[in-house]
């Protein structure tokens, strides 16, 4: 089985980008170890204790953020990072070619119940003006040079795209290396599975309610087939399932709070997942436009997300047509 760096070289990925992806793989191993230790973290210690002295008792999402920042900002190729855990960007090498946005530990409420969580990342080119401020990150997702996630589950997996399809690597714990386990991920066009937080039903737009209600009617309704539902409550794990066997995942507009009608973040949740899904033959949309076409106006901007199997997302978009917000 192929290792990470030879696989990237085979694909003729730029050496600087290989180096950044390698830094992320080092973070992945360290976070994976700590997530696996759970409440034991800090008792058995870890290789990076010197870098983050005194911080072993911190919550795992805060710790993951610190590890990613420490390791990525050591790289001469990283100009700046943006993180869900940081209000502003953190700058690094003045001449670094890349910007990295990340959600250090997506689905972190799953930590308490020993369920799946992950790190989501997006790599953008440093723009020509190299302004050094947050505006550098305000690029549409189509500009991403690489994007992916690390899933901490029964197996730790690194899943990413550099624009040449989607590859999945599995961490071989015996040698501490990521090995290629799926070289070309393809999302089936059709599906009988969807993922949505059903408890928000009453808060959705009527068009979204109608779409989901028709799925629930199954064989007896207009869709003429039965659908199953899954909700892991960590986007990283729900999207991983969609990449593995198809499905539709959505976190749509909901009217609970008008100041916060969307849940998921564009830069380090929507965009990286959208690039993976498109590269695997699926659709990633807000209900109004392809996620990758959005011009961001804030590094922590939130959006509506509908992604997955091509024909099913298209069916959902048909229901939403004409609605002002999805
Ligand atoms: O990052 C936000 C997030 O944790 C996603 O990973 C996940 O899809 C969603 O929130 C879960 O939200 P809810 O609390 O509605 O299940
Ligand atoms: Mn998240």
Q: Which residues pair with 159 in a beta bridge?
A: 149, 168
Better-predicted residue by pLDDT, 295 or 1:
295
Kindly indicate the confidence band of residue 326, based on its pLDDT and cuts at 50, 70 and 90.
Answer: low
Q: Please give the CATH topology (third level) of the domain spanning 193-320.
A: D-Maltodextrin-Binding Protein; domain 2 (3.40.190)
Closest CA to 137 of 104, 94, 88, 68: 88
Determine which residue's CA is closest to atom 12 belonging to ligand 1: 233
Assigned architecture for domain 4-182: 2-Layer Sandwich (3.30)
- Which residue bears the tokens 């600087």? 16
Q: Break the chain down into helix, strand, coil percent, rounded to 5.
A: 35, 25, 40
d(CA 305, CA 271): 10
Kindly indicate the confidence band of residue 47, based on its pLDDT and cuts at 50, 70 and 90.
Answer: very low
d(CA 86, CA 228): 37
Task: Give the Å distance between the CA of 183 and the centre of ligand 2.
Answer: 26
Closest CA to 8 of 301, 17, 244, 241: 17
Q: Is 192 annotated as a binding residue?
A: no
* pLDDT per position as a tens digit, 198-237: 999 999 999 999 999 999 999 999 999 999 999 999 999 9
Retrieve residue 171's tokens.
């961490």
Q: Minimum mean pLDDT among 58-62, 110-114, 237-241, 305-309: which range?
A: 58-62
Q: Is 163 annotated as a binding residue?
A: no
Does the pLDDT value for residue 72 go beyond 90? yes
Task: Give the Å distance between the CA of 195 and the centre of ligand 1.
Answer: 11
Q: Is 108 annotated as a binding residue?
A: yes
Q: Minimum mean pLDDT among 4-18, 36-50, 215-229: which range?
A: 36-50
Determine which residue's CA is closest to atom 11 belonging to ligand 1: 233
Q: Is 197 annotated as a binding residue?
A: yes
In the chain, domain spans? 4-182, 193-320
User: Model's pTM, two decimal places?
Assistant: 0.95
Mean pLDDT, the chain, rounded, equals: 94
Q: What is the number of the ligand 1 atom nearest to the C-alpha of 200?
A: 15
Q: What is the pLDDT of residue 324?
A: 65
* pLDDT per position as a tens digit, 79-102: 999 999 999 999 999 999 999 999
Q: Minimum mean pLDDT among 104-113, 153-162, 189-198: which range?
A: 104-113
Mutate which of 104, 106, 151 for ligand 1? The one with the most ligand atoms within 8 Å of its CB, which is 106
Mean pLDDT, rounded, for 288-301: 98
Task: Give the Å distance between the CA of 255 and the centre of ligand 2.
Answer: 20
Mean pLDDT, rounded, for 152-181: 98
Residue 75: C-alpha distances to residues 176, 248, 290, 296, 317 (Å): 21, 37, 32, 26, 42
Pocket (CB within 6 angstroms of ligand 1): 106-107, 197, 233-235, 251, 263
């Amino acid at each position: 089985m192929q290792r990470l760096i030879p696989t990237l070289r085979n694909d003729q990925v730029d050496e600087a980008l290989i180096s950044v992806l390698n830094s992320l793989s080092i973070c992945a191993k360290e976070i994976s170890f700590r997530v696996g230790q759970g409440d034991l973290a800090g008792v058995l210690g870890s290789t990076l204790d010197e870098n983050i002295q005194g911080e072993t008792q911190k919550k795992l999402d805060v710790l993951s953020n610190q590890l990613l920042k420490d390791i990525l900002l050591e790289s001469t190729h990283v100009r700046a990072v943006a993180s869900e855990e940081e209000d502003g960007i953190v700058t690094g090498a003045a001449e670094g070619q890349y910007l990295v946005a990340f959600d250090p530990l997506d689905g972190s409420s799953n930590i308490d119940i020993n369920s799946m969580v992950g790190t989501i990342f997006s790599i953008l080119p440093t723009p020509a003006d190299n302004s050094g401020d947050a505006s550098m990150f305000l690029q549409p997702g189509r500009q991403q040079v690489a994007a992916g996630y690390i899933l901490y589950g029964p197996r730790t997996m690194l899943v990413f795209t550099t624009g040449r399809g989607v590859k999945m690597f599995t961490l071989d714990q015996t040698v501490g290396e990521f090995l290629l386990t799926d070289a070309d991920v393809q999302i089936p066009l059709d599906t009988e599975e969807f993922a949505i937080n059903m408890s928000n039903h009453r808060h959705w737009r009527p068009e979204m309610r109608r779409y989901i209600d028709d799925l629930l009617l199954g064989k007896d309704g207009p869709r003429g087939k039965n659908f199953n539902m899954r909700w892991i409550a960590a986007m990283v794990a729900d999207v991983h399932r969609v990449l593995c066997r198809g499905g539709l995942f959505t976190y749509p507009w909901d009217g609970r709070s008008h100041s916060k009608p969307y849940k998921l973040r564009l830069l380090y949740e929507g965009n990286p997942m959208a690039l993976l899904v498109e590269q695997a033959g699926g659709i990633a949309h807000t209900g109004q436009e392809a996620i990758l076409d959005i011009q961001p106006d804030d590094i922590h901007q939130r959006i509506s997300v509908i992604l997955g199997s091509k024909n099913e997302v298209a069916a959902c978009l048909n229901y939403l047509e004409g609605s002002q917000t999805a």
